[in-house]
Amino acid sequence: MSRPPEDLPAYGWRARIGFLQPGGANPHHPHEFYMLAPDGVSITHMSLHSVEDEPTPFLSQASLDLVMRRLPLGARELASRSVDVIVQAGVPFTVGFGRGIEDRLRREIAKITDLPLVIDVRACIEAMQRLEIQRVLMVAPFTDHSNEQVAEYVDVDGIDVAAIHRVDQAEYGSLHLLPLGTVYQIVVRAHARAGAVDGVWLPGAALPTIAVLDALEHALSVPVISSKQAMVWAAFRQVGVNDRITGYGRLLQM
């Protein structure tokens, strides 16, 4: 029986999670979040992108600087929207500044709000550590230079990126238009070439990944971590949402 409307709580009555996305609008971000979110958990999604007369080149230093300048502004806006945690999405947009960027970002956000901050790359590292992944295949849509920066960054935390497969947007076109079956096949083929690894990491949140995580884990017999999955997992931990979520990888079932 349906409950009378006057008895229904507000959306996000358990937790409200704010996401700061570096790029333009991507329809998969809210969709994949709500695939994972239990009842009572909502998302407030904000893009740091704006329409520019001359867009900055993908993952150029200018684009990294632009995102870093806008992150505190986005955090201020999310804090005003009554979220319970702020999530910074975009692994290369922090890693490109080297070690120490996480502390710098936390200091800058702390000047604005005392809300907890989840940083994409740190969530991924902690997820891989939680699943005892030490030697990993990374499949990412970044530039070759950025991929190498990411590999060097996580090495300090005991994560050996043993193989890298670049998903070249010039070959596949817009990432948000990639069929899930194509994403699945890209990862399976990359894994077959990678040699011995004990996990797969998909750090590009723009890639649609959530719906194929379980299938990949069954096919490859290793845990698979995606950036979106790891950020949601870390955000849930911050706000005390400890539900066991099935169907989207081992991480969320723990």
- Which pLDDT score is estimated for 50? 66
pLDDT at 22: 87
User: Rounded to an integer, what distance in angstroms lies between the CA atom of residue 213 and that of residue 248?
Assistant: 5
Q: Which residues fall within 8 angstroms of residue 33, CB to CB, at 6 or more apart?
A: 17, 19, 43, 45, 228, 232
**Whole-prediction pTM:** 0.92
CATH number of the structural domain 5-253? 3.40.50.12500
Assigned token pair, 142: 């970044």
Q: What is the mean pLDDT of each run of 10 residues along the chain (254 residues)?
A: 72 94 80 94 87 67 82 93 95 91 94 96 98 97 94 97 92 82 96 96 92 97 97 96 95 92
pLDDT value, residue 51: 61
Residue 248, SS3 per DSSP:
coil
Cα(249)–Cα(211) distance, integer angstroms: 9
| Residue 42 to residue 52: CA distance in whole angstroms | 30
Distance from the Cα of residue 99 to its chain's centroid = 19
Residue with tokens 């948000």, as numbered in its chain: 176
Contact call for residues 167 and 144 (beta carbons, < 8 A): no
- Predicted local confidence at residue 205, as pLDDT: 87
| The predicted structure's pLDDT at residue 2 | 65
Residue 244 buriedness (CB in 10 A; 0-12 / 13-18 / 19+): exposed
